[in-house]
Amino acid sequence: MAFDFDQIIPRRHTDCLKYDELEARYGRAELLPLWVADMDFRVAPCVTAALQRLVDHGVYGYHVRRPRHQQAIVDWWGRRHGYTVHPEAIVYTPGVVPVLSHLVQALTGEDDGVLVQSPVYYPFFWLPRVNRRRLVINPLIEHQGDYQIDFDDLEAKAAQARILIFSSPHNPVGRVWRPDELERVASICLRHGLVLVADEIHNDLVFAPHRHTPVARLSPEIERITVTAHAASKTFNLASLATAYVLIADAGLRARFAAHHEALAVDGLNPFGLEATVAAFNEGEPWLAELLVYLRGNYQYLCAQLQARLPQVRVGPLEGTYLAWLDCRATGLTPPQLRQRLVEVGGLALNDGPIFGPGGEGFQRLNLACPRATLAEAVARLERALALPGSDR
């Protein structure tokens, strides 16, 4: 391996969310945190070098975007996902969550329905609420750890909504949606006149033989109703650099969004985020290739360890993302007991299933993007927290 993912890099006292907010979020500071979706790995050297060039220059005046910035995005999607992005389709934004909110504001009116699936990344619920839209939920169907879309329910719920916010690949259940599933989702949106907002931020974190399909690539008709949200931040661990973008191929849809975006005046660009994105996309593929091998190794390690030591906790299949979805229902603990045992007995900070909405009860989300030694410690803590009373383990 050319890159060292085993190195433990201390993050406490750096004002990072994952470690330095534990007291505020979990009531205890000294927990092992495998919750929020960032990585404990140092970024690719090409990213550090790009940022170092800016630091060395030392002048941080206003910045403008250039064709080379867009070209890095165009090339990335072409190479990685076989999708042709036209530079004019790219609209920059400080983050995917902010832009999801802006899309809700731009494309729906007060009390309009916003359709989401469940369980899902928690801002999908609160963004419609804080924007005073009506939340419409299409629950995923779970059977022994496998998640499927309930298309009949989606069809019925689509009639009550103006947009669908869709997680692809899916956080937290780890599905990489197949082209036939995406076709059906998109055709329902087309039939009912919904805009399909595809949050594809996890799309480069996919494990073979699975492959990500950009929903907008499926047909010109589908592309016309799709807004794809993306950033280099998840793949290359750049979340704090606050740089993301949406792809809106259809000029009319883009104009609808642009009018609102202009009014928000959030178009300013952060050169650190922009240059890090360009470096990651243009030069970061060797690092990403090794990252994916390491993450898959972590997933396999977790599965093997839990099967041997804590079989009552089941790890769902992981087709994409670095987020393991742990089914803890067989422990017999209620969701509050589960949460309490993990924190108080295990000393472990995971994401509590119920925050991902209906269907999250009895589950926990565990972030695999950490050194193997950290994961080994997390397994020991899980075992301490959840071993059944009276078990000899």
Encode 313-353 in three state secondary structure.
CEECCCCECCEEEEECHHHCCCHHHHHHHHHHHHCEECEEH
Contact 107, 257 (CB under 8 A): yes
Task: Return the residue of 72, 96, 227, 369 that touches ligand PLP, per CB under 6 A.
Answer: 96
Whether the CB-CB separation of 42 and 287 falls below 8 Å is answered with no
- The encoded tokens of residue 352 equal 């509590």
Secondary structure of the chain: what % helix, strand, coil (to 5)? 45, 15, 40
Which amino acid does the sequence have at 64?
A: V
Say whether residue 40 binds ligand PLP (CB under 6 A).
no
Q: Which is nearer to ligand PLP, 121 or 147 (CB)?
A: 121
Task: For residue 167, state whether it binds ligand PLP (rule: CB under 6 A).
Answer: yes
Nearer to ligand PLP, 228 or 233 (CB): 233
Closest approach of Cβ 332 to ligand PLP, in Å?
Answer: 30
What is the dihedral sign for C-alpha 300, 304, 306, 311?
Answer: positive
Give me the least distance between CB of 275 and ligand PLP, in Å please: 17
Task: Give the contact letters, 179-218, x = binds to ligand PLP (CB under 6 A), - = no.
Answer: --------------------x-x-----------------
| Residue 174, phi-psi category: left (phi > 0), alpha (psi -120 to 50), beta (remainder) | left
Q: Write down the least CB distance from residue 387 to ligand PLP, Å.
A: 30
Contact partners, residue 248, CB within 8 Å, separation at least 6: 89, 91, 227, 228, 254, 257
Is 239 a binding residue for ligand PLP by CB under 6 A? The answer is yes
233 alpha-carbon distance from chain centroid: 10
**Binding flag, residue 274, ligand PLP (CB under 6 A):** no
**Contact residue for ligand PLP among 121, 177, 245, 294 (CB under 6 A):** 121
Amino acid at 249: A
- Closest distance to ligand PLP from the beta carbon of 325 (Å): 13
Q: Are 349 and 275 in contact (CB under 8 A)?
A: no
How far apart, in whole angstroms, are the C-alpha atoms of residue 306 and residue 82? 37
Tokens 């022994």 — which residue?
A: 144
Does 295 help bind ligand PLP (rule: CB under 6 A)?
no
Give the count of residues interacting with ligand PLP (CB under 6 A): 13
Q: Which residues contact 295 (CB under 8 A, 6 or more apart)?
A: 205, 207, 322, 368, 369
Give the SS3 label for residue 112: coil
Q: Closer CB to ligand PLP, residue 90 or residue 231?
A: 231
95 binds ligand PLP (CB under 6 A): yes
Q: Which residue is nearest to ligand PLP (CB)?
A: 95
Residue 232 is a binding residue for ligand PLP (CB under 6 A)? no
Q: Which is nearer to ligand PLP, 225 or 231 (CB)?
A: 231
Q: Under rule CB under 6 A, which residues in 122-161 are in contact with ligand PLP?
A: none
Contact between 244 and ligand PLP by CB under 6 A: the answer reads yes
Smallest gap from Cβ 305 to ligand PLP, in A, equals 25
Q: Closest distance between ligand PLP and the C-beta of residue 35, in Å?
A: 10
> Applying CB under 6 A, which part among 18-26, 93-101, 133-141, 151-159 lies near ligand PLP?
93-101
Q: Tell me which residues in 321-360 interact with ligand PLP (CB under 6 A).
A: none
Return the SS3 of 93: strand
386 binds ligand PLP (CB under 6 A): no
CA separation, residue 352 to residues 191, 334, 337, 341, 360 (Å):
36, 12, 11, 12, 8
Minimum CB–partner distance for residue 104 and ligand PLP (Å): 14
Shortest distance, position 170 Cβ to ligand PLP, whole Å: 8
Q: Which residues bind ligand PLP (CB under 6 A)?
A: 37, 95-97, 121, 167, 171, 199, 201, 231, 233, 239, 244
